[in-house]
Structure formats: structure tokens, C-alpha cells
Structure 1
Amino acid sequence: MPAGGQPTVVRVAGREVRVTNPDKRLWPVDGLTKWDLVDYYVRVSPFLLPHLRGRPLVLTRYPDGIDGEWFYSKNAPEGAPEWLRTWTYHHESGPNHYIVAEEAAALAYVANLAAIELHPWLSSCDTPEEPDFAVVDLDPAEGATWEDVRQVALLVREILRAVGVEGFPKLSGATGLHVYCPCAPGHSFRDTAEFVRAIGRLLLRIDPERVTLERVVARRAGKVYVDYLQNRLGQTITAVYGLRPRPGAPVSIPVTWDELRTGDVPEVNLRTVWERLRRVGDLFAPVLDRRQDLRPATAALQAEAGTQRPAPAHEPGSGEASNWQHLSEDVPPLGAI
């Protein structure tokens, strides 16, 4: 870190980025500073940038550290460098001029804004009305445990296997878990929301003691909320490899289904993530290339509301079949919920 905490100009891949207050403690208990934040996002850029390129970015900024006031930022600040890509979307409330981070210097720039959390859109600037993936967001309410989240996630995997869809899990970096299901071009946000909602309804049938779709927070106590409403235009999920404003500076990282099955799930942070990346690389890379039509799977899940059970489907490459009977015996139809 530069001595004396004075502003300094750093060169990042040929760009100059000014870092102000580099010794400002953003994680006070952990002794981590804004300089650590800038350094992290520049170093992790080879893994992170592929998942941000072409996507509008919402920042969560903590100018006084994780214990201070914070705010969302949807607009590039005045005076942003000319080389920083921005993109304008006209919402009903008016236009927003989003940052689009496509190079390491852009990550250094947003880190200097004390943007600890990075939230990319689920769709791209080229096709904002069409998501690139559906996200099953498992959010434990007060009283629910990580074990509850893990068990529900494993049920999600079985449901996905039953309808022939591949999902990729990542830890939220807080208490929850996200499962990304890449989709082919042409899906609408209605399509992806209905897909996740159908999964949520089946989860509720299978494990009503753990799962809730209740939108009122006070009524979710002790359960894992399946937030299918995250699948909307302009909604965001914390970025893979993004930092979280929590003690220890945890990172939202991909995990394998085997790690979830065995319970051997790593906890990594700003300081320890490098060994994980060296060992496993980018487990989320397939999310960028996989294309799946989720609509037949949605229809199969919705068919569970009736009397017909869809035929078993195979997970790509697994060679193992899974079906509804394996998930749950003698459960009431979805229409009864």
C-alpha cells in the first residue's frame, strides 16, 4: 500500500486509475483497506471479468466501511474517465447510466469508489429483455441454518436432473446459495421466473418444513426462502467472485455439487481465495457457454400440478436417471398449495 495514505495513481493494463484514501479501513476488524479492495478486484479480474462483460453493473458502495452507511449506485459518477464504458437504459422512472466493467482498470475504478459489492444484470446490454440464465436464489430466513440451505440445494439438483437441466451452484458469500441455470437466447424474464417459481412450488411440496415462498419476511422464520422474483428485468445477484461487506471479507464462489453433497464446502475470503482458484480454476465458466431451453422443463414441473408425472430425464453426462418418485412419495399436487 502507498505510504502515508495519500492519493496515488496506479497503472492497470495501460490505464491510469487514481486511488484516494488507500489506507481507509473498509473492514475495520480485519484491518482490510480500500487498497486491499482495489488490489483484490484487479488480481481476480481474469476470473471475474468474463462474467461482467457486456452487463450493466449496480454497485453497493461503503465509503465508511462495512459498519458505516452504504448506498446503491446505478449511475456512473460525474467525471468518470472517458475510457470507462457506460450504457443507458430508460426505465419508467427515468434513464440510468450504468457502468459496464470490461477491463481490469474498470474494476480498479469501481473499487476506488468503495464499491465492495458488484451486482451485474442477469441480461446483457445487447439483449436487456432476455436473461442469460435463471437463478434459483436460496435465502435462509432467521432461524434457518446452513444445513437447511444445503439440503434444499440438493433437492434443487434432483429436480433439475429430473427435467434435464444443468445448474451451477455458488455460495452467496453471506448465508445463502445461488444456482444458475443458463438458458438459450429468446427466453424472457417471465420464462425464467416461471421456471424458478415451478421449482420453488415443488420444493415446497417435498420439504414444507424447510422451504417457503412467503413474500412477507416475518412469515419466513426458520425456513429457506426460494426467491424466484430475482428473475426480473434489472434485478441483480451479487457477482461470482465478488466480495461481501461482512466480517472476514468473504467471497461469493462457485462450488461443486459433490462439495454440497458431502458438506465439504470451502469458506474463502479476500486473503484465502487464491489457493482455491489455483486449484479448481473457474468452476463457473460453463455458465457463459451452456445454452438450454428451460421452457419444456417448466412445463414438466407445472405438470406436477396435475396427475401426470413427467418421464425421468438424465443429467447431461451423468448416466443416472432421477424421477419424481425419488424426490417425494405421496405428496399432494401442486394445485393444492
Structure 2
Amino acid sequence: MAQGAQSGKVSVDVEGRHLTLSNLDKVLYPDAGFAKGEVIDYYSRIAPVLVPHVVDRPMTVKRYPNGVDEKFFFEKNASRGTPDWVRTVTLPVPGSTKNRDTIDYLVVEGLPTLVWLANLAALELHVPQWMVPPRARKPRTDLIVFDLDPGPPATIAECCEVALLLRDVLEQDGFAPLAKTSGSKGMQVSAPVSCDDPSLTSTYAHRIAKRLEADRGDLVVSRMAKDLRPHKVLVDWSQNNPAKTTVAPYSLRARPQPTVSTPLTWDEVASGEHLSFTSDDVLARVDEHGDLFADVLSDEHRVRLTKTLAGGDE
């Protein structure tokens, strides 16, 4: 627990790990008056449902040291100040724009690492659709994701309509999809898979995105070109590329308010109503419903993705 403050610093013990927290009163969300201490408090309280969704996943964070209205930076490589008890995993990064052969990724294994990152103003947590368990010989793809991004004037309401179309297609193929808000403009639909070849999830997701575009060209686009996107929802299948990440469930977003990437019920998606939730909203939802995204972690719902299901060489 806190052992007093000096020069804006507070010493705490988090599950046996000693941490020094600083500048807890620094406001990181000016419009909401939401300070760094509140960011740390949110991540501490949401950890029981957040950590299972990021454990064993190499993490990319977006840090906002001076708040959401100021400059930010992405951080993948563990910095020199990383405590020795924080797990890292060294992975190749072919084609790196920084001419690096490998990156020492951070991996969140529990509450202490989450609090340590929050103290660094790592507001947003982004993870890939694959894991690196401690004794695994190679990464294991275990999720497929469709990122739904509305092109103005389309909104999350149109994303909900597309999510329902996507749910029907995925369920027909044997998947158990779940939806969450992005915490920003759009939403994601994810499902658990078992896949030895990570290219198969991209192949399958691309095929489904093109199918939805063919069926509902008035609403759906599968191509990235900006001139195609107004009034429509981009079904971004490319987030399944092993080099890409998606915002983690329960992560804060760097918006004017401290909004959160929030798991939804399908009834909420069908209603298409108010689907923007702040940190306080999400803590209350978890108290009432538990983790609405828990089934993406379930082996019971995991579908074996094969070349046949992925469309072969299509």
C-alpha cells in the first residue's frame, strides 16, 4: 500500500512488487478532468477481466505523457527502465521501419505490470490475435477479428447493422462471435479459433469481408481506399495479419472522455442505441454482468481453422 508521498511520488506494493507512482494528480483527459491516478485506479480495478485477454500477448502501448490533447507515441520495445520482473519476449520483426531485426516486446502477466504501464501514461493497450505462452515453441493464433470502421456520416449504428450480418455468417460457419466497441468510432467482432498457419485467418476474414460487400454494397466495403468509404462500414479483415494489433478489451482510449473498448451483448448490438461507455460505466457493467467477452477465451468455442474452411487457395 502507499507509504507516503514525496516530490509527487508514492511508493506502493502491488502483489509483492514494489512500484513508485508519480504525478498522480496530473490530468490526462482535460475535458473530463480525469487524472493519472484515476487511470491507475481504473486499470487496477478492471484487471481481473482485462488481464486474461492480454496475458501471453506481445503488447504495443500508446503513451500520452502530457494527456490526450498532446503528442503521443507508440511503444513496443521494452525500455531500459523496464523492471526485471516484467516479462518480455524477443520476436523477429522483418521489414522493420527502424531497421531492427527483433523487438523485446512487453507481456502483461498480471496487475503489477498493468499498474506500471498505467503509471507511464500508457493509456491504450493493443495486442495481436496470437499468443506466446512461456514454453511455446512458436506463436499460436487463437483469435479471428473483424474491425468495423464507419466512414462518415456512418456511425456505430451502421457498424451494429454490419456486425449482425457478420454474426450470422460466422455462426453458419461454426464460429461463436462476440462484439465490443472500439472505444472510439467503431467496433470489433471476434471469435476464438485454433490455427497453425496465421495466414489462414486473414484469408478467411478477407473472403467474408468480400462476401458481405457483394451482398450489401450499399453498406459494406472491404477495400481500404478512402474514396470508397463514405456512408459505408469498412470491414477491416487485415487486422488478422500477425504484424498488426487491435485495441484490447477493456482498454481505455485517448478520446476527450475516458471511453473504453467495451464488450457488448448481441441484444445491445441489435438495439444500436447508446454504445459509448466510460471507465465508470464499464466498471459498473462488469460488476453487473462479469466479463461479456469471456467466451473468446474458451476452448469449448474454439473452431479449428483449416484450409478447407479458409477457402483453400481462393
| TM-score scaled by length of structure 1 | 0.84
Which position in structure 1 is the counterpart of 2:179?
169
Residue 127 of structure 1, CA deviation: 6.1
Per-residue CA shift, 1:74-102, capped at 9, x if unaligned? 01111211111111112123211111111
Per-residue CA shift, 1:108-135, capped at 9, x if unaligned? 1111111000011211123655421110
**One-letter amino acid of the counterpart of residue 299, structure 1:** G
SS in 1 for 2:105: strand
Which position in structure 2 is the counterpart of 1:329?
none
Query: Which of residues 20, 37, 40 is equivalent to 1:38?
Result: 40
CA contact (8 A) 2:218 2:232 kept: yes
Which position in structure 2 is the counterpart of 1:107?
114
SS in 1 for 2:246: coil
CA distance in 2, matches of 1:128, 1:256: 34
CA contact (8 A) 1:61 1:71 kept: yes
Query: Which of residues 66, 69, 72 is equivalent to 2:71?
Result: 69
Unaligned 5+ segments in structure 1 are 303-337
Residue 298 of structure 1, CA deviation: 3.3
Residue 214 of structure 1, CA deviation: 2.2
CA distance in 2, matches of 1:208, 1:271: 38
Q: Larger strand proportion, structure 1 or 2?
A: 2
Query: Which of residues 46, 50, 53 is equivalent to 2:52?
Result: 50
Q: How does 1:183-262 map to 2 (within 5 A)?
A: 183-186=193-196, 188-262=197-271
Q: How does 1:1-337 map to 2 (within 5 A)?
A: 6-92=8-94, 93=96, 94-125=101-132, 126=136, 129-186=139-196, 188-264=197-273, 266-289=275-298, 290-295=301-306, 296-299=308-311
Residue 201 of structure 1, CA deviation: 0.9
CA spacing shift, 1:3–1:15, aligned 2, 3 Å: closer
**One-letter amino acid of the counterpart of residue 174, structure 1:** S
Q: Spell out structure 1 runs of 4+ moving beyond 4 A.
A: 1-5
**One-letter amino acid of the counterpart of residue 253, structure 1:** T
Instruction: Say how many residue pairs are matched.
Output: 300
Residue 209 of structure 1, CA deviation: 1.1
Residue 219 of structure 1, CA deviation: 3.2
CA spacing shift, 1:51–1:297, aligned 2, 3 Å: same
**One-letter amino acid of the counterpart of residue 195, structure 1:** Y
CA contact (8 A) 1:164 1:297 kept: no
**One-letter amino acid of the counterpart of residue 305, structure 2:** L
Unaligned 5+ segments in structure 2 are none
Q: CA RMSD in A?
A: 2.0
CA spacing shift, 1:299–1:17, aligned 2, 3 Å: same
SS in 2 for 1:299: coil
| TM-score scaled by length of structure 2 | 0.90
CA distance in 1, matches of 2:113, 2:140: 25
CA distance in 1, matches of 2:206, 2:126: 22
CA distance in 1, matches of 2:110, 2:156: 35
CA distance in 2, matches of 1:248, 1:25: 12
**One-letter amino acid of the counterpart of residue 15, structure 2:** A
CA distance in 2, matches of 1:18, 1:176: 36
CA distance in 1, matches of 2:179, 2:6: 42
**One-letter amino acid of the counterpart of residue 80, structure 2:** E
CA contact (8 A) 2:47 2:111 kept: yes
Residue 259 of structure 1, CA deviation: 1.6
CA spacing shift, 1:14–1:130, aligned 2, 3 Å: closer
Higher alpha-carbon Rg:
1
CA distance in 2, matches of 1:165, 1:207: 21
Residue 143 of structure 1, CA deviation: 2.1
SS in 1 for 2:141: coil
Residue 185 of structure 1, CA deviation: 4.2
CA distance in 2, matches of 1:87, 1:43: 26
CA contact (8 A) 1:75 1:99 kept: yes
CA distance in 2, matches of 1:261, 1:246: 25
CA spacing shift, 1:25–1:4, aligned 2, 3 Å: farther
